[in-house]
Chains A and B, each alone.
Chain A
């Protein structure tokens, strides 16, 4: 036998037990190369290439900014409204893009799933990679805009990093659930589109939490995505935008959206693990 044999024993009672280290490495290789491939497919061959990713949320930002400062005048009394608005849009663009790409990812990679055994997790995770890269880039733009808009540079900006990571993990967890359910229920795509619309209007994206009647505010922030937007705003623009703990009333209640997000992730992971073994047969 060749020297590269990983440490596998045949006489284990398990069906197929491989040592985890090579499997984990393989998972990383696959996720990385699939993510790079998807990135290249998306942006190669188009003239402006990667710039389109920035252009779309920026255009949406421009339109909403004009509407809500010149026509509806909703943003007039909001401190640093452009920054607050862009934070909402950048996070929204990530959330919608990530879930919309991971939802059909397993079905789209049908041929791969039917021909090879590999950690299935790699597929939805890789589908989230490009949106996540766009999120990081979008935040660069947010920070530039914040400086231009007169927000003073602050150490609290660093808190954005764990919030962003949390949002990405939440989107992956949700994506796992959606992708594996979509294999069985092909209605899920239109349903999810509607659900996304609801999330958009139920989250402080174009408006701020102050517009929500006081008695409903904390419930709005039960939604993990809304809480992420609110907390990011607070950390970037400071006192002008209340933190999640301020709105909820206490620090403990912050655990509600965090707990819901964690529950979704665990549910997504468990469902995925349960159903993905047979995905090749269901497709």
Chain B
């Protein structure tokens, strides 16, 4: 098959001015001072081809260069070295609803959006009913877009984008939107695209859909292509090591977020399986033990130990502490150490999590030490359910025969 997207030795470097001179005054007053730049190689020497009719997935951690790569394919960024060639019309879903303006109703916005994607205004107007129907917004066509909910906007954007008949679709995380039913519709659309032999380049964190839809996948790490091939192999590779290197969330100074008066310090924390081995990746349903080593610098009576397990979106999936558990922790003298252990069953949905341990004063109002997102934990499951937890459950379906009531 003929390649439709070809990327050869692509490099993209951003020169980030350390302090950018934005005005004449700044340039004139300190012409040398502002020349300092930091180079960031967002994409390094990436080569691949996507054949016609192929579904091509791109995965990698945050900051690995996925979006930059997509922007280069879309022609938004010019490559610094190497070559990008795309045959046919591209419909980039880099963001849905590009050019939407809240002050105007759906029709005007669809016309502008359509023009940007290559449709004539007449053509966009002709397709408008189909777009609105797919987006299920028939009752809201007269509304200004600023009165739409975010879900409605995304639905309209997606419908408009798929109506612009393109040969190559570049999608950045578009499936993470909408309710489950609409997501199903999007998947159906992608299946139809696949049947029709259209090409899709698909950037996602949703490993399950990459495995489900893509014919091949590319793994990026620090801008470099480290794996290319069968989606299941590439996803496995990503799970294996890319995640473990993900740096913890940091504040503006670059250090991990931490607060408290440090009258007691969290020196160490780790996760263990029941055999006592250190773990960062667990299977769903496994028992995990969090162990936190605390060094005391001041006398603490009944300090509270606790931890929060958070999802990638910072939802608190699990919150525990010794106060909730009505556990008296005793008295610690300066230089004493304490070890806090909490064993829990990982009934979490598949995905990445962080663990934030903390130590607080007895009154629960002041923190001695709080280390946000101190540990990373990955839960592997059978499927990405979209929930936060996968509770043990049983489901049954019975068919009930309707009894006609006789008077």
Is A bound to B? yes
Distance in angstroms between the alpha carbons of A136 and B305 in the assembled complex: 75
A1: Cβ under 8 A from any B Cβ: yes
Q: Is the Cβ of A15 less than 8 Å from the Cβ of B84?
A: yes
Closest B residue to A280 by beta carbon equals B76
Distance in angstroms between the alpha carbons of A114 and B95 in the assembled complex: 10
New A-B pairs, 8, CB < 8 Å, besides A16-B84, A41-B103, A280-B77: A1-B53, A1-B167, A10-B3, A37-B112, A40-B108, A187-B23, A187-B25, A278-B78
Pick from A9, A112, A115 the residue with the most CB of B within 10 Å: A115
Distance in angstroms between the alpha carbons of A22 and B90 in the assembled complex: 13
Distance in angstroms between the alpha carbons of A40 and B85 in the assembled complex: 37
Q: Is the Cβ of A5 less than 8 Å from the Cβ of B88?
A: yes
Q: Is the Cβ of A33 less than 8 Å from the Cβ of B121?
A: yes
Closest B residue to A111 by beta carbon equals B98
What is the minimal beta-carbon distance from A112 to any residue of chain B, in angstroms?
A: 5
Categorize the interface residue count of chain A: 35 or more
Q: Which residues of B contact A185 (CB under 8 A)?
A: 22-24
Pick from B6, B115, B165, B198 the residue with the most CB of A within 10 Å: B115
Distance in angstroms between the alpha carbons of A16 and B83 in the assembled complex: 9
- Which residues in chain B, 139-174, are within 8 Å of chain A measured between CB atoms? 165, 167
B383: Cβ under 8 A from any A Cβ: no
Distance in angstroms between the alpha carbons of A278 and B77 in the assembled complex: 7
Q: Is the Cβ of B98 less than 8 Å from the Cβ of A112?
A: yes
A115 touching B104 in the complex, CB below 8 Å, given contacts A16-B85, A29-B121, A187-B24: no
Selected from A9, A15, A29, A112, the residue in CB contact (under 8 A) with B99 is A112
Selected from B77, B90, B116, B167, the residue in CB contact (under 8 A) with A281 is B77
What is the minimal beta-carbon distance from B95 to any residue of chain A, in angstroms?
A: 5
- Which residues in chain B, 154-200, are within 8 Å of chain A measured between CB atoms? 165, 167, 196-198
B250: Cβ under 8 A from any A Cβ: no
Closest A residue to B26 by beta carbon equals A187
Selected from A10, A29, A191, the residue in CB contact (under 8 A) with B118 is A29
Distance in angstroms between the alpha carbons of A9 and B3 in the assembled complex: 11
A250: Cβ under 8 A from any B Cβ: no
Q: Is the Cβ of B104 less than 8 Å from the Cβ of A37?
A: yes
A114 touching B76 in the complex, CB below 8 Å, given contacts A10-B3, A187-B24, A187-B25: yes
A32: Cβ under 8 A from any B Cβ: yes
* Contact string against A for B residues 1-13, beta-carbon threshold 8 Å, 1 for contact and 0 otherwise: 0111010000000
- Which residues in chain B, 90-131, are within 8 Å of chain A measured between CB atoms? 90, 92, 94-95, 98-99, 101, 103-104, 108, 111-112, 114-116, 118-121
A258: Cβ under 8 A from any B Cβ: no
Q: Is the Cβ of A8 less than 8 Å from the Cβ of B88?
A: yes
- Which residues in chain B, 24-80, are within 8 Å of chain A measured between CB atoms? 24-25, 52-53, 71, 74-79
Q: Which residues of A contact B167 (CB under 8 A)?
A: 1-2, 4-5
Q: Is the Cβ of B115 less than 8 Å from the Cβ of A33?
A: yes
* Contact string against A for B residues 352-369, beta-carbon threshold 8 Å, 1 for contact and 0 otherwise: 000000000000000000
A145: Cβ under 8 A from any B Cβ: no
Chain B: residues with CB nearer than 8 A to chain A?
2-4, 6, 14, 22-25, 52-53, 71, 74-79, 83-90, 92, 94-95, 98-99, 101, 103-104, 108, 111-112, 114-116, 118-121, 165, 167, 196-198
Q: Which residues of B contact A37 (CB under 8 A)?
A: 101, 104, 108, 112
Q: Is the Cβ of A186 less than 8 Å from the Cβ of B3?
A: no
Q: Which residues of A contact B85 (CB under 8 A)?
A: 10, 12, 15-16
Closest B residue to A3 by beta carbon equals B165
Distance in angstroms between the alpha carbons of A155 and B6 in the assembled complex: 59
Q: Is the Cβ of B116 less than 8 Å from the Cβ of A118?
A: yes
Closest B residue to A191 by beta carbon equals B24
What are 11 A-B pairs with beta-carbon distances under 8 A? A1-B53, A2-B197, A4-B165, A12-B85, A15-B78, A25-B120, A29-B118, A30-B115, A34-B112, A111-B98, A114-B76
Q: Is the Cβ of A33 less than 8 Å from the Cβ of B112?
A: yes
A249: Cβ under 8 A from any B Cβ: no
Q: Which residues of A contact B119 (CB under 8 A)?
A: 29
A277: Cβ under 8 A from any B Cβ: yes
Q: Is the Cβ of B24 less than 8 Å from the Cβ of A112?
A: no
A20: Cβ under 8 A from any B Cβ: no
Closest A residue to B165 by beta carbon equals A4
A59: Cβ under 8 A from any B Cβ: no
Distance in angstroms between the alpha carbons of A187 and B63 in the assembled complex: 33
Q: Is the Cβ of B101 less than 8 Å from the Cβ of A115?
A: no
Q: Is the Cβ of B78 less than 8 Å from the Cβ of A32?
A: no
Q: Which residues of B contact A118 (CB under 8 A)?
A: 116
- Which residues in chain A, 231-282, are within 8 Å of chain B measured between CB atoms? 277-278, 280-281
A62: Cβ under 8 A from any B Cβ: no
A5 touching B98 in the complex, CB below 8 Å, given contacts A25-B120, A29-B119: no
Closest B residue to A33 by beta carbon equals B115
A49: Cβ under 8 A from any B Cβ: no
Q: Is the Cβ of B6 less than 8 Å from the Cβ of A116?
A: no
Distance in angstroms between the alpha carbons of A111 and B101 in the assembled complex: 11
Q: Is the Cβ of A2 less than 8 Å from the Cβ of B198?
A: yes
* Contact string against B for A residues 86-126, beta-carbon threshold 8 Å, 1 for contact and 0 otherwise: 00000000000000000000000001111111100000000
